[in-house]
Amino acid sequence: MYRIVVTGPESVGKSTMAKYLADCFDGVDIPEYARTYVEDHGYSYSYDDVVAIAIHQIEQDQAILNQDLNMIFYDSWMIITKIWFDEVFQQVPEFVHQHIEAYSADLYLLLDYDLPWEDDPARENGGDRRAYLYKRYKSELESYGCHYVEISGIGEERFANAKGAVEKFLYCRRENK
């Protein structure tokens, strides 16, 4: 089973990309739970809400790991939750670090913020925050030693770049077996 995470700041096309790649590679895409949670519970949230989101993500991840799947494409993942804890509440529960270290994905696609911002009630980090958060995600991926590829481009170019990165990853895995 290969686990591929699509990550990056808000409004960079993570959801669309995860679905696209799952379709291309006959995989499963795992939607972002945080968005569903805040839409269902209101757009203001507390530290305890983010804890509940993180716990749900971990439980969902554990259930998925016990299935016989070939490829999983995550729309976001625990690194985004870690940064969310840190940026909003200046504290991160230890279980979040532990999950990231124990269950790192095989490949991370870090989507550039080169797409135009699309306002949405669940989004709160437009403007210069997108560039700042992009750097945070990149730094976090590097600090955990994650294998990642930066993906940029507009329209079909962006999809082709992401698909190419996954194809290269799969080719390298086959060659190294």
Could you tell me the two tokens for 173? 């895995």
User: pLDDT tens, 34-74?
Assistant: 888 888 887 788 999 999 999 999 999 888 888 888 999 99
Higher-confidence residue of 121 and 117: namely 117
Give pLDDT, residue 177.
Answer: 64
Higher-confidence residue of 75 and 66: namely 75
- Total tally of structural domains belonging to the chain: 1
Per the structure, the complete domain to which residue 37 belongs is given by 2-175
Please name every residue paired with 122 in a beta bridge, in sequence order, or none if there are none. none
| Confidence band of 14 (pLDDT split at 50, 70, 90) | very high
Helix axes 47-65, 78-89, angle to 10 degrees: 170
Could you tell me the two tokens for 94? 């230890």
DSSP state string for the chain: -EEEEEE-STTS-HHHHHHHHHHHTT-EEE--HHHHHHHHH-S---HHHHHHHHHHHHHHHHHHHTS--SEEEEES-HHHHHHHHHHHHS---HHHHHHHHHS--SEEEEE-S-SPP---TT----THHHHHHHHHHHHHHHHTT--EEEE--STHHHHHHHHHHHHHHHHHHHHT-
User: pLDDT tens, 81-107?
Assistant: 999 999 999 999 999 999 999 988 999
Higher-confidence residue of 62 and 158: namely 158
pLDDT surpassing 70 at residue 20: yes
pLDDT surpassing 70 at residue 122: no
CATH of the domain at 34: 3.40.50.300
Could you tell me the two tokens for 106? 């095989």
pLDDT surpassing 80 at residue 124: no
Higher-confidence residue of 116 and 104: namely 104
pTM assigned to the model: 0.92
CB 3 within 8 A of CB 106: yes
Average pLDDT of the chain is 91
| Confidence band of 125 (pLDDT split at 50, 70, 90) | low
Give pLDDT, residue 175.
Answer: 85
Give pLDDT, residue 121.
Answer: 58
Give pLDDT, residue 91.
Answer: 97
User: pLDDT tens, 128-156?
Assistant: 889 999 999 999 999 999 999 999 999 99
Residue identified by tokens 């991926």 is: 141
